[in-house]
Structure 1
């Protein structure tokens, strides 16, 4: 008898294919995949040896009878498929953002609770080895009481990447949805999950992007940048989302007597001069991690009053899926935990629609951009 959990995938691009590989590695059976374009979904299903493919999500739920659905489309296309899957009684694994608004995300979280299905929210860069090491160091008192966190990143993204979902608020685009969700997850994993207060400001540095046909995979969109951007026949789409943000937050921590201050500074289109980084400061030291998502190396400033590079502890290294690519490895990690939980095994806390809905509500608050105080009247 085949007792494998059955998984239905929504999305045929980089994420959809990555999710399928991760669920198979976790011992589940990928029984179907759904996409928008018949020729594309059929091609992907054949390439990945997935027995069922189609473009009708509700029909696929009926035909495949999945235990789990995996949502791997842009955030603006999440709400209806997730709602239908929950109503169908499926557990749901969703990439970020959960939806395009805080209200609809909260609705899905409450629905999942009412239907008693398990959910996983893939702001999964918290599973980077150096981030897990920082979590271990902070918990062991290596920097004393944490007092402040600094997250600085500049991506220098090409301004002429073809117009698509990442340029549109209603489609789940914007740097808050696609960068801040990872960053807040990273910081809360180390400091503590409870967010006390938040303030922020956003900016659209882009304005417009060329509309180009044929872009189906997020990872290869750069290949479609027009060679002649001055071509008068080019059609342009207008961006309506942020490409840069600055956010301040306060977090509660079991390791600190006072709220921990956090700075998130991200420029999607700006070049970096020095390495992107994450720093955890404490009363007795600090942890510096190179890379915008904590790629490493990690340095500890402690009693020696010098920065010392530390290797990844063996227990953390041994627990990492043996997968190339940070994004893919983090999917494998979370999928593994999710499948274990569904199968009744004891696992550590992983993020669910509780965090997904909270983060989306935070994104809505930050985007209001109403935190400024007019000081022109002051003398």
Structure 2
């Protein structure tokens, strides 16, 4: 069996999760860890064992000679790291979003296709057992569908600092909204025809042109409609943070974050 050499770039929550998964798979070997933060890469190296660590991406690429580059860094760095990896002839796994602009995303897709390389984006809900069941149930409800989803997060301290760092390159509705709009497309099996959105800046701790609360509405060719809401910060309500409902002519199905006696997917 061939072993695929993986260079993990970014040693935060997602980088750690992916690195631990690669270590458990007999088909893959983690050959290096890259992070600008010495503490995070050393922490992960201790978890994995004797794995070389690097503070510089180019040095890591030359030294480890990977087959696959796993990109788990802040969103504004994704396109550049993916492009450098593809140009070096490496397969790419990249956390969402692939890029922060449509133009960069299209360029990367064209580059991977032209070079015959694999490039996968981390749409993890597609392979989550509960969400696979959710999609199957939703498709049984008839048409049109009404899709209601949100993920508000009341955040303080270190988590709020992480959210503010993320908002230097994208908003809350883009961060996880890519997952939920993807699920809406799978559930409806229809093409989006319009997207509208609103947003509000509820703190002076972020850039004047950024917002930490937003909501988007999507209309589909088959008449289905969906909305997604997301907000981050200490001011967010802890009572309205998790809604995952789909309603159709034949009934409804939901994912709940708590155990109940109902037949909802949990």
State the structure with bigger RCO (CA 8 A, min sep 6), 1 or 2.
1
Q: CA–CA distance in 1 between the matches of 2:150 and 2:9?
A: 33
2:254 equivalent in structure 1: 288
| Structure 2 residue 176 is the aligned partner of structure 1 residue 187 | no
SS at match of 2:145: strand
Partner of 2:229: 265
Residues 7, 194 of structure 1: alpha-carbon distance in 2 compared, 3 angstrom cutoff: farther
* TM-score normalised according to structure 1 size: 0.62
Deviations 1:74-101 (A, max 9, x none): 1112222211111111111111222333
**CA distances 1:216-236 after superposition (whole Å, capped 9, x unpaired):** xxxxxxxxxxxxxxxxxxxxx
Output one character per residue of 1:86-142: Cα deviation in whole Å (capped at 9) or x when no partner: 111111111122233332222222222222211111132343333211222234x3x
| Counterpart residue number, 2:49 | 49
Residue of structure 1 equivalent to 2:77: 77
1:224 corresponding residue in structure 2: none
5+ long unaligned stretches in structure 1: 209-236, 253-257, 300-307, 313-379
Alignment of 1:59-138 (within 5 A): 59-138=59-138
Distance 1:153 1:40, change over 3 A: closer
How far apart, CA to CA, are the structure 2 residues paired with 1:127 and 1:193?
A: 20
Which position in structure 1 is the counterpart of 2:154?
156
Cα distance in 1 for partners of 2:112, 2:86 equals 6
Equivalent-residue separation in structure 2 for 1:59 and 1:92 (angstroms) = 18
Report if the CA contact (8 A) 2:143-2:224 is conserved: no
Q: RMSD of the alignment, in Å?
A: 2.8
TM-score (norm 2): 0.85
Partners of 2:142 and 2:260 lie apart in 1 by: 17
Pair 1:278 & 2:247 matched: no
Q: Assess if the C-alpha contact under 8 Å between 1:147 and 1:282 holds in 2.
A: yes
Residue aligning to 2:211? 242
* Alpha-carbon distance in structure 1 between the residues aligned to 2:173 and 2:242: 17
Distance 1:124 1:67 in 2: 22
SS at 2:59 equivalent: helix
1:22 and 1:246 map into 2 onto residues whose CA distance is 33
**Unaligned runs of at least 5 residues, structure 2:** none
Structure 2 partner of 1:6: 5
